[in-house]
Amino acid sequence: MRAPTSQVAWSYHRLINSAYPPIDLFEDIADPQDWLLLASAEVKTNARLAETIGNLDLVPPERRVGGAGASYVMAPFTHVSLDRPGRFHDGTFGAFYAAAGYETALFETVHHQARFCRATAETPGWVADLRELVGRIDIALDDLRDGNFAALLDPDDYTASQSYAREVRAAGGDGIVYPSVRHAGGECFAAFHPDVMGIPVQGRHLSYHWDGGRIDRIKDLSDGHKVYQIDL
């Protein structure tokens, strides 16, 4: 059963690992129609370029975006892997996840960073630097916020939610808005194409501290390196 759609008009917040640099092709060449030709020519002399760009074929030409900041919305769709699925993408296609508020974006990423640190037996310390992206979205999305879609919001099992996402995407849907599973009262969306949301600008720059069992502190590198305790 498909959910009803609702107009989602937010300022969105997304936190990403700051280790990933902008992709020059997306940033410098404003017209996406030129990308494939330019990329094909440059890959012949720069074998690493294809790895940097990812798989452009996964994004229909009419749904690509370019210009300053475009890397932030293009990369989640060109760099996909079956080894990195998420709640509403299975690794055969990408999704852009963001939250309606900074705190929700923080809690979502703290959860996933902690899970990664546990899986890799990370040594306690400052383990990850993240940058905040802030942008706008104003579009109709499938709406799971009415309490009737609990199976799609399972904390650990993404089987049903990935199946639903494939259905929505195949039917031409632009994405899904849903209650945050990691932050009570928070709201998130998963967009299925780069042109669904506006290109973001950078906000805060953060560092996460792992104490051996959880992410217990964050440091705001953009505000005098202030340190805040995390209470999940």
Report pLDDT for 133.
Answer: 96
Quick check: helix, strand or coil at residue 156? coil
Residue 58's alpha-carbon distances to 10, 24, 74, 82, in angstroms, are 26, 18, 10, 14
For residue 35, what pLDDT is reported? 54
Residue 75: φ, ψ to 5°: -55, -40
Could you tell me how far CA 17 lies from the centroid of its own chain? 10
Give the whole-angstrom CA distance, residue 166 versus residue 197: 19
Rounded Cα gap, residues 146 and 53, in angstroms: 38
The predicted structure's pLDDT at residue 71 = 86
Domain count of the fold of the chain: 1
CA-derived radius of gyration, the chain = 18
Specify the amino acid at residue 103.
Answer: E
pLDDT score recorded for residue 47: 52
Q: Are 39 and 74 in contact (CB under 8 A)?
A: no
Domain that holds residue 151: 5-229
Q: What does pTM read for this prediction? A: 0.89
Longest dimension (CA), the chain: 53
pLDDT tens over the chain, length 232 residues: 799 999 999 999 999 998 765 555 555 555 556 555 555 545 445 555 545 667 888 999 899 988 888 889 998 999 898 999 999 999 999 999 999 999 999 999 999 999 999 999 999 999 999 999 999 999 999 999 998 999 999 999 999 999 999 999 999 999 999 999 999 999 999 999 999 999 999 999 999 999 999 999 999 999 999 999 988 7
Instruction: Write the CA distances from 30 to 33, 37, 63, 68, integer angstroms.
Output: 9, 14, 13, 8
Return the pLDDT at 55: 81
Q: What is d(CA 218, CA 203) in angstroms, rounded to the nearest whole number?
A: 15
* Integer CA distances (angstroms), 41 to 28, 186, 206, in order: 16, 45, 37
Q: What is the DSSP letter of 168?
A: H
CA distances from residue 129 to 18, 53, 85, 103, 113 in whole angstroms, order as listed: 6, 22, 22, 16, 11
